[in-house]
């Protein structure tokens, strides 16, 4: 036998040959399987990915925008607006606070038509917030509206509550002077300067005088027969007394009666908590300088 014949017939050689043939067969089978998978229609790798194409025309875009606008309009009138109006109405039934004032202002900014509801400027005046009053006025709220229940105006509310900024704003925007007297106590025939002087509010008195108020408004227009100077003395505000005197305020003091005695009698009618001894002495000094005795 030749050497090759001996190798082929050797059991070890036969085993090696068999294993090699099996491995080759497995490789071929594996290659066939991979090829089948690659060619399969279910294989995502065999199908190139294509992005969907969207075609928009100008007319289609207009239709789309119109539909969106209609939807927003329906939502606004049938959902948002009723909810806003209900919240606004609820706020109008409450006394203003800083937090409620911010909510009120936000609603008016978003829905300006709310400002035209009855007595919105009254609520703004009660808040003492000139910024809110300005927003209401810019949105159409009337300045001179008279309350149905208590006959008050926004101006009278601001005046009674000593809200100087609101008083100044209303005057700047042209509040009707004839409405100043249309207060809930209009039968008293009191002028705004009477009220501000009685409250001892120097800033509001300055605003009113600069707007044309008469510092010597006739006493008969006040039920108590008190002129602004008398009311200022009673308030105990020495700075206000000095201001009115500088503006030409006058008062009749009987010459046979000492100024000190008259001033003390006037101040006794005021609030003792608001009249300090220092202010009382200064008021008397101012009056004695203004009305010297001979």
**94-129 pLDDT tens trace:** 999 999 999 999 999 999 999 999 999 999 999 999
First to last CA, the chain: 169
Q: Over the range 274-289, which residues count as b (16 or more CB within 10 Å of their CB) and which as e?
A: ebeeebbebbbebbee
Rounded Cα–Cα distance for residues 112 and 134 (Å) = 12
Asked whether the beta carbons of 249 and 228 are under 8 A apart, the reply is: yes
Choose between 41 and 146: higher pLDDT.
146
pLDDT of residue 131: 96
Sequence-distant (6+) residues with CB within 8 A of 119 are: 92, 145, 147
Kindly give, in sequence order, each residue whose CB lies less than 8 Å from that of residue 203, ignoring residues fewer than 6 positions away: 164
DSSP 38-55: HH-TT-GGGS---PPP--
- Contact between residue 243 and residue 206 where contact means Cβ atoms under 8 Å apart: yes
**How confident is the model at residue 270, as a pLDDT?**
66
Cα dihedral: 93, 95, 96, 99 (round 10): -80
The rounded distance, in Å, linking the Cα atoms of 31 and 97 is: 83
Give Cα 128 distance to the centre of its chain: 12
* Separation in Å, CA 237 to CA 41, 145, 216, 250, 280: 98, 33, 18, 17, 9
pTM assigned to the model: 0.68
How far CA 178 is from CA of 131, 153, 155, in Å, comes to 25, 11, 11
Domain borders along the chain are 220-294
- On whether the CB atoms of residues 140 and 116 are closer than 8 A, the answer is yes
Distance of alpha carbon 70 from alpha carbon 225, whole angstroms: 65
* pLDDT for residue 19 is more than 70: no
Q: Give per-residue pLDDT as tens, 245-257.
A: 999 998 766 554 5
Average predicted confidence (pLDDT) for the chain: 78
Percent of residues, the chain, with pLDDT higher than 70: 64
Q: Tens digits of per-residue pLDDT, 215-245? A: 988 766 666 668 899 889 888 899 999 999 9
Cα–Cα distance measured from residue 15 to residue 17, given in angstroms and rounded to the nearest whole number: 5
Is-contact 95 126, C-beta < 8 A? yes
């Amino acid at each position: 036998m030749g050497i090759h014949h001996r190798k082929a017939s050797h059991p070890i050689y036969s085993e090696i040959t068999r294993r090699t043939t099996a491995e080759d067969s497995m490789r071929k089978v594996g290659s066939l399987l991979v090829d089948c998978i690659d060619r399969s229609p279910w294989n995502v790798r065999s199908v190139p990915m294509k992005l969907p194409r969207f075609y928009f025309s100008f007319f289609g875009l207009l239709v789309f925008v119109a539909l969106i606008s209609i939807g927003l309009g329906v939502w606004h009138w049938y959902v948002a607006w009723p909810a806003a109006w209900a919240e606004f109405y609820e706020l109008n039934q409450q006394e203003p606070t800083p937090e409620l004032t911010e909510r009120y202002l936000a609603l008016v900014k978003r829905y300006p038509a709310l400002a035209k509801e009855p007595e919105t400027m009254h609520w703004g005046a009660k808040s003492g917030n000139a910024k809110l009053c300005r927003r209401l006025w810019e949105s159409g709220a009337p300045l001179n509206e008279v309350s149905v229940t208590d006959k008050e105006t926004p101006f009278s509310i601001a005046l009674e509550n000593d809200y100087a900024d609101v008083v100044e704003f209303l005057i700047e925007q042209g509040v009707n002077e004839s409405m100043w007297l249309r207060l809930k106590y209009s039968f008293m025939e009191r002028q705004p300067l009477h009220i501000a002087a009685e409250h001892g509010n120097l800033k509001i008195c300055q605003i009113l005088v600069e707007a044309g108020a008469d510092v010597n408004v006739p006493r008969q227009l006040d039920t108590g027969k008190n002129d602004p100077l008398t009311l200022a003395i009673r308030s105990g505000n020495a700075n206000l007394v000095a201001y009115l005197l500088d503006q030409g305020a006058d008062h009749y003091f009987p010459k046979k009666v000492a100024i000190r005695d008259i001033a003390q009698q006037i101040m006794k009618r005021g609030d003792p908590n608001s009249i300090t001894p220092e202010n009382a002495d200064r008021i008397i000094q101012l009056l004695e300088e203004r009305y010297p005795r001979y």
